[in-house]
Structure 1
Amino acid sequence: MSTVLVRNGRIIDGTGREPLRNASIIIEDGWFKEISKGDLELPPQATVIDATGKTIVPGLIDMHSHLLSGGFDSITEVIDSFEPATQRRSLKQMLYWGVTSTYSPVQPLESGLQLRRDVAEETFLAPRLFISGPGFTAPNGWAGSLLPLARLEPKSLEEAEQQVNQLADAGVNILKIYYDTQCCAFVSPFPKLETAIMERIIQMAHSRDLRVMVHAYDNQFHIDALRAGVDILAHSAVTSPVDDEYLELAGKSKALYLATLSVYHDAFDEVSLREFIAQDFVQKTVPKKTLESLAENGPLDEFLKISKKDYIKDQLPTIQANLKKVAEGGIAVGVGPDTGVMGAFPGISVHREMELMVQAGIPPLRVLEAASKTAAEYLGEELLGTIQQGKIADLVIIKGNPLEDIKHTRDIELVMKAGRVIDRGKLLEEILETE
């Protein structure tokens, strides 16, 4: 039996309650056994971790991660072939930054299932992995040409039903639908999946006890998905302020709202992105080839030429206000930064997203709850997400107080997954060795 005593820290348990100060935790065989204010009696042969002056938060959960690098160096490696080495590196980066569980939508079914098995069997250090398998899109729709090995293009209700059953039988965790023309983001729009097919996918998924994530930018496409009973909305409502109908539908469907602020703030703004990249903690932990792929006069500039970057910049105040209004309207919000896209470096992206959520007006305590308890609920994992007796011992010890400045979440002292202290130094060596 292994026992750990974490002593005298400030515990933010993920439930949304105020912190428990000068508190201690006993962890036994990977489970939280006891949490109490003040000190606890030292169990025999326990390992002691002194958290004096530090903050203890639950292991972070990224609800929208693609196993890419955050640069253009991984485009051919993963989007074309889903290179396992790149995916493993991405997962290691997440764990280094305190992400102990992640949902990764869209990958070839068999390789996705194998990667999830490898993670579960601990063939390498990684967060728990939840997957979708291939994503649903229209013929020649968004992500279709980019993800040739990981798309489903149902042309009828019957075909959609068969494909949902195939994924459900295989044991995927949450389905992913692309339901957008991308006209908000790109000069040339893409075909959109038929509304009736989107509705049938959600209906069939629910009949198989599966939740569904829908990718959409346009407010009307959000509303279509909410009427269909979507469980998770990936990306902010971009085109206009959310109205009472939107909030009523979101409340009725109990949908999780993932704003992906880091995408809008950084991926469409080369100045903001390169300022962020220049920070020391990024330079020291992101592989050099990834950073070089985002340099001036490179692929990023070519990407921005076909994007509607000026429109996205103009809509940023609306995007931020919509998140605040949704959160204040009692709608669940999560942390799902679209990890892996330009500038959303694995692991770092979660901290960036939390920072931008606070800037948008979400209180830090609510943001930390979004990155832990709320995410676990939408994963259907009742033993994850909070620091409470009887739950799996995932935690991060932070050197500062994130309630005073959310950026302190980046200043990590220790990461623990299921009671195991992660050797972050060794993990970083492995991450940078893959350059």
Structure 2
Amino acid sequence: MKKNILTVLSLLGVMTVSAQQPADLVISPVKVIDIKTGKITPDQAIIIRHDTILAVTSLQRARQYKATQTFDGGNQYAMPGLWDNHMHFGGGDTLADENKNFLPLYLAHGITAVRDCSADISAQVLKWRDEVNKGSLQGPTIFTSGPKLEGYKSVWLGDIEIGTTAELNHALDSLQRMHVDFVKITDNTIKPELYLEAVKAARQRGMIISGHVPYALTLQQVTDAGLSSVEHLSYVWKAGVKDEAALSHSIANGDIKGRDINRYILAHFDTTAALKAYRHMAAKGTAVTPTLSLGQVLAYFDQDDHAHDPYLAYIGKGLQKTYEMRVKRVMKDDSAAIAYRKELYEKESAILPLLQKAGVMIMAGTDAGYLNSFDYPGIGLHRELALMVHFGLTPLQALQASVINSPLFLHQQGYGALAAGKKADILLLRANPLEDILNTEKINAVVTKGRLLDRSALDQLLNKVKADNAR
């Protein structure tokens, strides 16, 4: 009888083991943060197979999975990996290797996806994008515009310059053959009417369109045309004047130009008019990426010139030289100009809560990388999130701007939450970022496409970049 009971128990044990589902990685125990609601669920296990989350479940139910690797979550906070929704690779082919070192910097700072908003090394960026997607290159998932659209003799390098409808259509054909993730259009020399035509034509092709906005156009004109996102707050700040159409007409005629435009906006900004414009923007589905970081660096350059930032050890010497243009410009400012640029930055940034109130989708992006002085890939996103909170968003809203809104903008369904079927891009934090946004920097581990990088592995990534730059 005793022998029979032992046999039955043994068979049950075999059945239990055989019933276990295979997994590559189990992380437990963790407190899972729902970035959509702010709810935190303790005592959870995250089950990963390949690059996908199989389940987020209780510790008891996690026993039904048999993993080849387990990681002690230490009851720390788990959330989806961060996104930097506006950065730049660039500086020419000779700086390609320095740009490539952005990839480990982003991962080491918990950023598992980036949106490259164009410069002049599109061929390399498209190659890196595809290699990351295939798993032959380690780095954040890259979404890129390829070369942006501009008018003739633009100041920017690497643009596709257009001046006619035929050239516009040829340019869009070219971008579609590159399989870009979105289209970028800027406002340096492009004709306003061709800008609107470009937005409409790209929209008709089913493309996502980001842009700077020509000041000769109103925000309503570009949102009605179908612009998907406005890059930088300054372009939506202008819409807060009582009669933006009159201002745009004066700019188009050359009656108001240069710094007088911003002085006019400062004098005539109206909260009621701004909310009306921003609600129309929200109704049309046009998002905004504020990019507060660079403006803060330049506005307060007299207080901190960043020459001794420890993070410069991670930025190549060639890329550091691209910072010089902006630095030389702000160094010419006298005391009155310094006070003016600070006032301008503070007033522009103060519209962030108005945009949130109006229902505009806000995305977190830094403008980091090539050219933009001391606006750093990696750590820069944590600075951006902190500035978003400083100017009126809650920590949860700032995290939503990175983790939820960025993939939503790019029509990427596999991101934004820790749940079954979502991508296994995970950030494990030692402290709660909903209590203090600076806690996003307290990184214990990162999972990228299902691969675990513990604190030691993240430090190795940083050390390698530093060593490469030292050489």
The correspondence of residues 164-203 of structure 1 with structure 2, limited to 5 A, is 164-179=172-187, 191-203=188-200
Q: Which residue of 1 aligns with 2:409?
A: 378
* Structure 1 Cα separation of the partners of residues 410 and 303 of structure 2: 32
Given the superposition, is the C-alpha separation of residues 249 and 161 from structure 1 closer, same or farther in structure 2, using an over 3 Å criterion? farther
Match of 1:59 among 81, 86, 107: 81
Higher helix share: 2
Paired position in structure 2 for 1:41: 62
Which residue of the other structure, out of 298, 303, 312, is the alignment partner of 2:329? 303
- How far is 1:258 from its partner? 0.7
Aligned to 1:409: 440
Tell me the equivalent position of 2:129. Answer: 116
Match of residue 35 from structure 2: 14
Give the Cα–Cα distance (whole angstroms) in 2 for the partners of residues 318 and 7 of structure 1: 45
Structure 1 residue 286 displacement after superposition: 2.7
Mean alpha-carbon deviation: is it higher for 27-36 or for 58-67?
27-36
Post-superposition Cα deviations, 1:289-343, rounded to whole Å, max 9, x if no partner, equal 4897699xx7654131468765431123322221111012111111111111212
Q: Which residue of 1 aligns with 2:373?
A: 342
CA RMSD of aligned residues (A): 2.7
- Unpaired segments ≥5 residues, structure 1: 68-77, 180-190
Bigger CA radius of gyration: 2
> Where does 1:262-341 land on structure 2 (aligned, <5 Å)?
262-271=293-302, 273-274=304-305, 282=311, 286-287=314-315, 289=317, 301-305=327-331, 310-340=339-369, 341=372
User: Could you tell me how far apart the structure 1 residues matched to 2:316 and 2:368 are?
Assistant: 18
- Specify the alignment match of 2:424 in structure 1: 393
**TM-score under structure 2 normalisation?**
0.78
Determine what percentage of the aligned residue pairs are the same residue.
21
Q: Name the counterpart of 1:430.
A: 464
Match of 2:451 in 1: 420
Question: Are the aligned partners of 2:91 and 2:319 in contact in 1 as well (CA < 8 Å)?
Answer: no
Q: How many residues align?
A: 404
Maintained 8 Å contact 2:275/2:354:
no
The 1-side partners of 2:129 and 2:338 are apart by 35
Indicate the SS of the match to 1:416.
Answer: strand
* Offset at residue 64 of structure 1 (A): 0.6
TM-score (norm 1): 0.84
Match of 1:249 among 280, 286, 293: 280
Q: 2:106 aligns with which of 69, 85, 94?
A: 94
Mapped partners of 2:208, 2:94: distance in 1? 24
SS of residue in 1 equivalent to 2:43: strand
Task: String of CA shifts for 1:340-363, please: whole Å, max 9, x gaps.
Answer: 121211011111100000111111
Correspondence for 2:144 among 131, 142, 148: 131
- Give the letter aligned to residue 225 of structure 1: V
Of residues 123-132 and 406-415 in structure 1, the stretch that sits farther from structure 2 once superposed is 123-132
The correspondence for 1:205, drawn from 198, 202, 211, is 202
CA displacement at 1:248 relative to structure 2: 2.8
The whole-number CA distance in structure 2 between the counterparts of 1:217 and 1:9 is 48
Per-residue deviation, 1:219: 10
The Cα of 1:45 is off from its aligned counterpart by 3.7
8 Å CA contact retained: 1:13, 1:387: yes
Distance in 2 between the 1:231 and 1:84 partners?
29
> What residue in structure 2 maps to residue 151 of structure 1?
159
Contact 1:7 1:50 in 2 (8 A): yes
Alpha-carbon shift at residue 96 of structure 1 (Å):
1.3
**Which range moves more in the overlay, 414-423 or 22-31?**
22-31
Partner Cα separation in structure 1 for residue 402 and residue 351 of structure 2: 19
Q: CA offsets, 1:244-280, max 9 Å, x none?
A: 34213211221121111111111342145546x7676
Tell me which residue corresponds to 1:4.
25
Question: Which of 339-348 and 27-36 deviates more?
Answer: 27-36
3-state DSSP of counterpart to 1:316: helix
Residue 386 (structure 1) shift: 1.7
Task: Please report how far the alpha carbon of residue 31 of structure 1 lies from its aligned counterpart in structure 2 after TM superposition.
Answer: 1.3
Residues in 2 aligned to 1:97 and 1:425: alpha-carbon distance in whole angstroms:
10
